[in-house]
Amino acid sequence: MSAVPKRPSVRIVHEQDVVARMRGTQDRIADAITTFAGTMTFVYLHALWFAVWIVCNEGVFGDDAIWDPFPFGLLTMIVSLEAIFLSTFVMVSQNRQAARENVRADLDFETNVRSEVWSIHMGRALGVDPAEVERRVQELLAENRARMNGTAEPPAGT
């Protein structure tokens, strides 16, 4: 009977799974409202609503149709309350997005550490000099920083 080699246990965590576990019903509601509030449909509906409100309250359909005469105090209060709630929903969505970015950064860091450890082990197995590799990495990073800062000299022949 031959022994079957044991497969290493590699745990891969996906950002979507972590974020899905963090997201509750209230978050879904806030996202739906924020998503709709960020559309042109929302803008058009509000423009129509304001126009109808103002036209009715200016007496175009008679004095019986006026329920909020100029300066439209009720409309002002409703719009102010809506702004308060919408800004809160936006902040809830932004806070969750920040949490999602933190999860993504943590997972990226774990992936980078895992890659570095694997690279070191494979390099040792292949007889690669880690000091030489690190020296070359530092050179490339310095060149890239110089290019980003605009202090690098253009390559020869250009």
SS3 content of the chain, % helix, strand, coil (to 5): 75, 0, 25
**Could you please report the per-residue DSSP string of 81-103?**
HHHHHHHHHHHHHHHHHHHHHHH
Q: What is the pLDDT of residue 3?
A: 61
Domains of the chain, by residue range, sit at 22-149
pTM score over 0.95: no
pLDDT in tens, the chain (158 residues): 556 666 666 666 777 777 777 778 888 888 899 999 999 999 999 999 999 999 999 999 999 989 999 999 999 999 999 999 999 999 998 998 898 899 999 999 999 999 999 998 999 999 999 889 899 999 999 999 999 998 877 666 55
Would you put residue 68 in left (φ > 0), alpha (ψ -120 to 50) or beta? beta
Q: What is the pLDDT of residue 153?
A: 72
Q: What is the pLDDT of residue 144?
A: 94
Q: What is the pLDDT of residue 23?
A: 77
